Structure 1
Amino acid sequence: MQATGQSDQPDTGQGMAHRLSVAPMMDWTDRHCRFFHRLMTRRAMLYTEMVTAPAILHGPKPRLLDFSAEEHPIALQLGGSDPAELARATAIAQGWGYDEINLNCGCPSDRVQSGCFGAVLMERPALVADCMAAMRAESDVPVTVKCRIGVDDQIPEEVLPRFIETVAAAGVTHFVIHARKAWLQGLSPKENREIPPLDYPLVLAMKRRFPDLTICLNGGVASLAQARALLDQGLDGVMIGRAAYHDPGSTLIGADALWGDGFAPDAFAVVEAMRPYIAAHLEGGGRLHQITRHMLGLFTGRPGARGWRRVLSEGVSRPGAGLPLIDAALAEVQALA
């Protein structure tokens, strides 16, 4: 097991830690992505990709669960619907030192439906409550839920409060709500992120209805200004997804101001801070692309951003690609700064 321990990051406190978070995204928010994001924000809660409970029970645990101490605060997102399996996976994850364990009740892909987890669990709130009770019994850190406002022909105004009430009765106090329905038939996962209309007023209504619960909103949030506006309406937190990945410079640098923290490193300083991490990864036999693919959007909207992306994308597969390629890509931006 990789020693993770607690970092010297500021103590956000559970009530404040989720003012901004970066969504769990399959194939995107791996450990390299999270380390990169952490260099831009000391405060935002970072989430792992979803890991299924059976994978943790039977798979390569270090590969699935290891992370760097610098990534704190960090949440592990689990997928599953068997209370006993989820409890065992939670107990195993305890040893890794995560700050939160989250259950996925929102992913609409065919794979998760066939496994009876993800968004399909919106139809089974009592089962979710059983899962959460089992997970809480094995966890020393908060256990939370990420869900949709409903699925298919469900009426969100009826289904969502019932779901929250049922799951909260199992002791869950924190819900991240993707403010869209999920259509389990007829829409792809990508379409489910874009086509069903957003219903922010419903999520805001859930905060008013359950004032003692931590309610965070996910879905369609594309800027820090938008996140701040939602927080100002009474939400406890806002989760940013693809915008934080494709344009991390705009969405994460300066994000700590949401906590009254002035930490806001320059994008060039972020690249410089990545150099030792990249060097260690390469020395350990890793490939440059595994890290630089997460960095392509750092200079989005700035002169030279296209050259930065081009140099990294074209050169990363060449034999011996390493830190000199980073320097060459950075020169494309520096020349126009």
Structure 2
Amino acid sequence: MTDQLTQAARLSVAPMMDWTDRHCRYFHRLMSHEALLYTEMVTAPALVRGGALHLLDFSSEEHPVALQLGGSEPEELKEATKLCVAHGYDEVNLNVGCPSDRVQSGAFGAVLMKSPDLVAECVAKMMEGAGDVPVTVKCRIGVDDQTPEEVLPAFLEKMQSVGVTRITVHARKAWLQGLSPKENRDIPPLDYPLVHQMKEAFPALHLSINGGIADLSTVEQELEVMDGVMVGRAAYHQPYDILGHADQTIYGSDRAPLSRHDVALAMEDYIGRHVAAGGKLAQVTRHMLGLFAGQPGARRWKRVLSEGAHKEGADFALVREALPR
């Protein structure tokens, strides 16, 4: 599976809090059979201390799928990793990039860029718990007043020294004070050249670049330099533009892509099962609003679903009604 995962990681959809839940991932998987999908971040304390194992639920159709963990206590991360592996995830990823206050208060996320020795200890323990399942890292180029040209290569070298072979680098600093998580995704400038230099400096590492990548042609360009590309917001807000033809363009698949309409219709059974089990239509369709982004009928599609999906008794018939004519 490791070779398959390395291939899958040529294009991945970033872990995004409140967005990349299991419904979102199922929807994305209909558009790309090949891309690597990431869960929202799940904290190790929630799993190990809180027993919130429902956070690990996913559909077998989602493979290849990676779970992202947040935490900073090595033994706890080891136990959480064991739980992830037991649930069947293909990869476990450590979050060293999220700048939110909620994450900082738990002493994990981007603040860990200041503690590479602790990250190395965490990752080593996670590997003990992972068996043959790969443990990977997602990081920033630095935080606050750190000098990325110094901090990033030292961090990558430390990760490589404990056996990490695959790392995703968000090509921005994170400012832990003064910027909101949303501002941290936009305001610190992107530094693609530095990340490109890291690929040259660490040829044995599989390095993916993340941050500000908005279309499939940019993914192709980045793959001329990097091993992989991770796409975040664009894959959520314009999913078909990123994923609809990714298998053919990025992976050389000869499988015919589904049309946008076909993707929507292919959600019928999944939505039917979800609603029959007591779920709400809006829990699924909120992830589908961008399917027709930029296309005729997109505004009506979003309006019909946004206004009707939360109503009692709403089911797949509303999706059919919303489809562009």
What does residue 26 of structure 1 align with? 17
* CA displacement at 1:93 relative to structure 2: 1.3
What does residue 279 of structure 2 align with? 286
Provide TM-score, normalisation by structure 1.
0.94
- For 2:252, the aligned partner's letter is G
Residues 205-244 of structure 1, C-alpha deviations (whole Å, 9 max, x = no match)? 0000000000000000000000000001x20000000000
Residues 77-98 of structure 1, C-alpha deviations (whole Å, 9 max, x = no match)? 0000000000010111111111
Which residue, out of 187, 200, 210, partners 2:202?
A: 210
Which residue, out of 239, 242, 255, partners 1:251?
A: 242
8 Å Cα contact 1:254-1:262 kept in structure 2: no
Residues 115-137 of structure 1, C-alpha deviations (whole Å, 9 max, x = no match)? 11000000000000000000001
Q: Which moved more, 1:96-105 or 1:312-321?
A: 312-321
What does residue 126 of structure 1 align with? 117
* CA displacement at 1:61 relative to structure 2: 3.9
- For 1:284, the aligned partner's letter is A
Partner SS, residue 88 of structure 2: coil
1:106 partnered with 2:97: yes
1:13 partnered with 2:4: yes
User: Quick one: structure 1 residues 12 and 273, their matched pair in 2 at CA, closer, same or farther if it must change by over 3 Å?
Assistant: farther
Report the count of equivalent residues.
Answer: 322
Residues 154-196 of structure 1, C-alpha deviations (whole Å, 9 max, x = no match)? 0000000001101211111111000000000110000000000
8 Å Cα contact 1:12-1:43 kept in structure 2: no
Partner SS, residue 173 of structure 2: coil
- For 2:301, the aligned partner's letter is W
- For 1:188, the aligned partner's letter is S
Q: Distance in 1 between matches of 2:310 and 2:273?
A: 18
Q: Distance in 2 between matches of 1:21 and 1:311?
A: 30
Q: Distance in 1 between matches of 2:32 and 2:177?
A: 38
8 Å Cα contact 1:126-1:167 kept in structure 2: no
Which residue, out of 44, 54, 58, partners 1:53?
A: 44
What does residue 156 of structure 1 align with? 148
- For 1:93, the aligned partner's letter is C
Q: Distance in 2 between matches of 1:12 and 1:249?
A: 26
- For 2:262, the aligned partner's letter is A
* CA displacement at 1:317 relative to structure 2: 2.3
Structure 2: runs of 5+ lacking an equivalent: none
Which ranges of 4 or more aligned residues in structure 1 deviate by more than 2 Å?
58-62
User: Quick one: structure 1 residues 126 and 42, their matched pair in 2 at CA, closer, same or farther if it must change by over 3 Å?
Assistant: same
Q: How does 1:1-337 map to 2 (within 5 A)?
A: 13-139=4-130, 140-232=132-224, 234-256=225-247, 257-263=249-255, 264-330=257-323, 333-334=324-325
Q: Distance in 2 between matches of 1:15 and 1:320?
A: 43
Q: Distance in 2 between matches of 1:318 and 1:99?
A: 36
Q: Distance in 1 between matches of 2:7 and 2:185?
A: 27
Residues 280-336 of structure 1, C-alpha deviations (whole Å, 9 max, x = no match)? 000000000000000000000000000000111111122211111111101xx12xx
Provide TM-score, normalisation by structure 2.
0.97
8 Å Cα contact 1:129-1:168 kept in structure 2: no
Q: Distance in 2 between matches of 1:230 and 1:54?
A: 36
Structure 1: runs of 5+ lacking an equivalent: 1-5
Q: Distance in 2 between matches of 1:259 and 1:133?
A: 32
Q: Distance in 2 between matches of 1:93 and 1:186?
A: 34
Residues 24-58 of structure 1, C-alpha deviations (whole Å, 9 max, x = no match)? 00000000000000000000000000000010113
Partner SS, residue 56 of structure 1: helix
Partner SS, residue 250 of structure 1: helix
User: Quick one: structure 1 residues 14 and 316, their matched pair in 2 at CA, closer, same or farther if it must change by over 3 Å?
Assistant: closer
* CA displacement at 1:17 relative to structure 2: 1.5
Partner SS, residue 265 of structure 1: coil
Partner SS, residue 187 of structure 1: coil
* CA displacement at 1:63 relative to structure 2: 1.6
What does residue 3 of structure 1 align with? none
